Amino acid sequence: MFRNSYFITVVWRRFRRNRLALAGAGVVGLLFLLSFLAPFITPCDPAHLDAWHVLLPPSTQHWFGTDELGRDVFTRVIYGSRVSLKVGFVAVGIAVLIGTAVGLVSGFYGGWFDSLLMRLVDIMLCFPTFFLILAVIAMLEPSIWYIMIIIGLTGWMGVARLVRAEVLTLREREFVQAARCLGASDLRIIVRHILPNALSPVLVTATLGVAGAILTESALSFLGIGVQPPTPSWGNILTAGKEYIEFAWWLSLFPGLAILVTVLAYNLLGEGLRDALDPRLNR
């Protein structure tokens, strides 16, 4: 316990010295807060139509203006953050679970089994991921659950390679050899000794993966095969905004800024975690 608490203290000391990473963590925390408190901080329902207030510019009544149906853009952007967070975390969760399992088994047992799994990873990496997602979703009914599952099933290869590389070094360490000598089963060695020591790079990859999943979902929704109206998503808000960009700039500006700031925040947070968890950095 003392060793774990000391490690956390060292990591936090390194992390807090990175002001950009702290800023990214603050933005991510604020995004979570806004998404959970959306019903209490937004002025109206995201699907409420108001034909008398169509395409109004930003004002004190409508902070981000209104869209072509009179819906409050600020409300829809806030509710759109819920969709983005859900897609990001569920998709990355699926990818991390699959990639971690494949990487652990492949690196621990090695031999022909390792070669077989790595060739599978190579084959998956040969497919253009975004176009594969487009093809699968085009054959299915557009749904947020399909999007999350497909992004997760097509994004685990990098995690698998990363975990395998960690396991290849960990399986020869003294504590693993000692566990073998004591008669520990393979499952116990993997779960109790190898997995905890291989989680640091996985955490960084997962943080960066959330940003990628949000971008993918936004692109799919922008193309019209992602989250379907009237459910608000940053991507489909941008889709509506492109028709009126010449005189209703706020329809494209605010959801675009939301995507930019969120993805940048996750990238800064991931970079900060990578630096803080790297034992070779003595800062």
The whole-number average pLDDT for the span 166-184 is 84
CATH no. of 2-277:
1.10.3720.10
What is the length of the chain? 283
Cα-to-chain-centroid distance, residue 66: 29
Return the pLDDT at 2.
38
Return the pLDDT at 148.
87
The whole-number average pLDDT for the span 120-141 is 80
Quickly state the pLDDT bin for 97 (edges 50, 70, 90).
very high
Closest among 217, 229, 98 to 147, alpha carbons compared: 217
Closest among 167, 150, 152 to 113, alpha carbons compared: 167
- pLDDT tens-digit map of 188-217: 888 888 888 888 888 888 888 898 888 888
pLDDT(98) > 90: yes
Quickly state the pLDDT bin for 281 (edges 50, 70, 90).
low
pLDDT(282) > 70: no
What's the rounded Cα separation, in Å, for the pair 234 and 45?
16
